[in-house]
Amino acid sequence: MHERPNPKKGIRAVTLRTNRVPVSRIRRTMSKILSKNLILYALAVIAFVAVLSVFIAQMVVSNKKETAIKSFEQFDQKNHQVALINRGDSPEINLPNDNSNPETILPEVVDDTTPSNDALVVEIIDHTETSETEPEASLNVLPTETEPEETVAPTTPPMKIPADNTPHYVQKEVVYVRVGPGQNHDVEGFATFGLKLVVLEKGAEWSKIRTETGITGYMRNDLFDVNVPVRPEPVVPPAPEYLYVKAKVVNLREQPTENSSVIIYLCENDRVQFIAEKGDWVQVSIVSGIEGYILKDLLKNSPPEDTFEAMERTLYVKEDDVLLRNSPSTNGPILHSLKRDESVYEIEANSTWSKVRLSNDKTGFIRSDMLTVVTPPPAGYTRVEKTVYINTASVNIRTMPNTDSLIVAVVYEGTSIQTKAVGSEWTMVKAPNGEIGYIRNDLIRNTAAAPTSPSPSTTPSSSSAGTTKPTTTKPKAPNPPAPSIPSVAKGNPANDAVRARIVEIARSCVGVPYRSTVDAVTKNYMDCSGLVYYVYKVAGFNWRSRESSNYIAHAYGTRVSFKAYDYSTLLPGDILFYSSNGGRTYDHSAIYIGNGQMVHATRPTAKIQGVGEYYRQPSLVKRIYD
């Protein structure tokens, strides 16, 4: 230690001399120490972060996987490998092709408890060969940014998807067929319990269908099924109470409010069945069980007057001991008893009774269902009852032994029928539907089996052919030649025969007297809808029940587009409907027979008339056989 004076303060300075270390060595030493510690610290931090990250990731994946499995617990993992669930919306369902199994369709699952942006992408990897070490399917879950609450999505039963080309059947009493897939669309028509239909286009909730009655539109999937419905044991209902429409046009509504949808429009004097009163409204049912509501003030209790209308024609008694009465009532005094096949002259008739004149000029009343237009066997016929068989493709049975009279039945090759009387050219027979009429002798055979080498006379070109007519029958006046009108309509060739048959039967109805308010199917009298009903029924069409023109327009057939005075899009057999109120209701119907002509029932008798010659144009055309 050395002391030296301090020039400023006069204090001695002591200088300590030591062996100094170089600064560069210190820096190198510190750098080594710090490098080793930082590596250790960094490794510790990285390990901690890794452990924490793995723990958090496992928790998140576990929660997500549980939710995903619960959301897909009803899905078919073997047939659907990838799907996207949006919890705020229903998953999109991709429909299978025509050959797919409807049971593999994804059900609609909607979860209303989770946010709309909570979406999971779930990839299901299917392994065709499984083992104890290889799971059947593995899940890769990609979560979104928003963490969802752990909730279980409520499930709904899957909506069944009907299969194409499989017959289905309506399961409810009355079902609306709508223009589009939803209840907000207009009603195209009706389908009733047990009616068969086919699916044209499949949908998740609604499908495009076509019924056996020809209505095409949309129906909710839960209203029809492949199983034929079975009605429960019938319960004897009380006697029905009927009401009658007293306004020109009345709305039948779905609910008892004026804002409710209109099911159908009813016409004056239409009959409805009373169900119940609800305030100012009456719940009623109409034809085929369709129910709805009508304002009470628009209905009346008394039926329309059953007036007598002039007939002026000859009829024949159907049975023995038919009573002629003094008044149109079963309580009226008996004037006379008639035998089967006696002729009477019908002066006038209503829906139940006929006023007639006998050969002795005595007049009285006979129940109309005891009379027939079928001519008794003419002179020279022998009463013979035996079984014979039809030996050609199809044969018309007519009311008289000629080819101009009304067709009452159509029978087909091999059908057995019973003879009543046999003549030289024609045989009086009883058809399978119970109708009595005449068939030409060369169109029947005595054995069930067809002959091996039929002669030319047993294979006529037309079942309606025939040149022999009895002299006692006055033939109808020939119909005027039909104008030639080109047609662009092309029908299904498979239906050519039935359309031709409809036209032939319709033509045979010419001359049948018109009578309104005829509920039953009868060849003795016809109104406009009765003629349509009769022709199609004889041709083999299976009506649900006897209907009015208005109901047929709403419940049967496919709509056909056309223009006024242009009938090129129509096919023979199409049904024409006429309206006086812009298509709200239809009060007249006719059958189109081609070349711009139609057959319709009108006063005094049914006739052929040009569609363009009628005083109004059709408002609607429907086609039952395409």
Output the pLDDT for position 595. Answer: 93
Contact between 344 and 338 under an 8 Å Cβ cutoff? The reply is yes
Q: Report the percent of the chain where pLDDT is more than 90.
A: 49
pLDDT in tens, 164-177: 678 999 999 889 99
Output the pLDDT for position 288. Answer: 64
Comparing 117 with 224, the larger pLDDT belongs to 224
Domain 382-458 class, CATH top level: mainly beta
Q: Which of 112-126, 385-399, 504-518, 551-565 has the lowest mean pLDDT?
A: 112-126
Contact between 473 and 401 under an 8 Å Cβ cutoff? The reply is yes
The mean predicted confidence, pLDDT, of the chain is 78
Output the pLDDT for position 306. Answer: 83
pLDDT in tens, 36-48: 677 777 777 888 8
> What is 436-486 written as a DSSP string?
EEEEEGGGEESSSSPPSS--GGGS-S-TT------TTSPPPPPPPPPP---
Q: Which of 15-19, 32-36, 51-55, 213-217 has the lowest mean pLDDT?
A: 15-19
Q: What mean pLDDT is predicted for residues 147-154?
A: 45
pLDDT grade, residue 95 (50/70/90)? Answer: very low
Beta bridge partners of 15: 2
Output the pLDDT for position 46. Answer: 84
Residue 21 has pLDDT above 70, yes or no: no
Output the pLDDT for position 70. Answer: 40
Cβ-based burial of 158 (10 A; exposed 0-12, middle 13-18, buried ≥19):
middle
Residue 619 has pLDDT above 90, yes or no: yes
Output the pLDDT for position 79. Answer: 41
Output the pLDDT for position 93. Answer: 43
End-to-end distance of the chain based on CA atoms, in angstroms?
131
Could you count the other beta carbons within 10 Å of the beta carbon of residue 488? 8
Q: Do domains 382-458 and 493-623 have the same CATH topology?
A: no
Superfamily for the 242-300 domain: SH3 Domains (2.30.30.40)
Q: Which of 115-129, 220-234, 424-438 has the lowest mean pLDDT?
A: 115-129
How far is residue 368's CA from residue 362's CA, in Å, rounded to a whole number?
Answer: 17
H or E element: which one contains 496?
helix 496-508
Q: Which of 13-22, 333-342, 409-418, 611-620 has the lowest mean pLDDT?
A: 13-22
For domain 493-623, give the CATH number.
3.90.1720.10
Contact between 299 and 286 under an 8 Å Cβ cutoff? The reply is no
Q: What mean pLDDT is predicted for residues 6-34?
A: 57
Domain ranges of the chain: 168-225, 242-300, 309-372, 382-458, 493-623
Beta bridge partners of 621: 576
Domain 309-372 class, CATH top level: mainly beta
**With left for phi above 0 and alpha for psi between -120 and 50, is residue 104 left, alpha or beta?**
alpha
Q: What mean pLDDT is predicted for residues 169-198?
A: 92
Q: What mean pLDDT is predicted for residues 262-270?
A: 86
**Contacts for 30-36: CB closer than 8 Å, 24+ residues apart:** none
Beta bridge partners of 243: 272
Q: What mean pLDDT is predicted for residues 375-396?
A: 93
Rounded (10°) CA dihedral 304, 191, 544, 194: -140
How far is residue 214's CA from residue 591's CA, in Å, rounded to a whole number?
Answer: 16
Q: What mean pLDDT is predicted for residues 459-481?
A: 40
pLDDT grade, residue 88 (50/70/90)? Answer: very low
pLDDT grade, residue 125 (50/70/90)? Answer: very low
pLDDT grade, residue 543 (50/70/90)? Answer: confident
Q: What mean pLDDT is predicted for residues 57-64?
A: 60
Q: What mean pLDDT is predicted for residues 262-277?
A: 89
Side chain identity at 601, as an amino acid letter?
A: A
Q: Please name the residue that has the structure tokens 């587009």.
A: 561
Write phi, then psi, for 276 (nearest 5 degrees): -165, 160
Q: What mean pLDDT is predicted for residues 240-259?
A: 92
pLDDT in tens, 493-506: 999 999 999 999 99
Give exposure, 312-340, as e/b (b: 16+ Cβ within 10 Å).
Answer: ebebbbeeeebbbbeebeeeeeeeeebee
pLDDT grade, residue 163 (50/70/90)? Answer: low
pLDDT grade, residue 459 (50/70/90)? Answer: very low
Q: What mean pLDDT is predicted for residues 330-349?
A: 94
DSSP character at residue 535: H
Comparing 105 with 446, the larger pLDDT belongs to 446
Q: What mean pLDDT is predicted for residues 184-206?
A: 92
Q: Does domain 168-225 bear CATH number 3.40.190.10?
A: no
Output the pLDDT for position 263. Answer: 86
pLDDT grade, residue 235 (50/70/90)? Answer: confident
pLDDT in tens, 282-318: 999 987 678 999 999 999 998 888 888 888 899 999 9
Q: Please name the residue that has the structure tokens 């022999």.
A: 468
pLDDT in tens, 478-530: 555 555 566 667 889 999 999 999 999 999 999 998 887 656 567 888 899 99
Output the pLDDT for position 17. Answer: 52
How far is residue 570's CA from residue 558's CA, in Å, rounded to a whole number?
Answer: 12
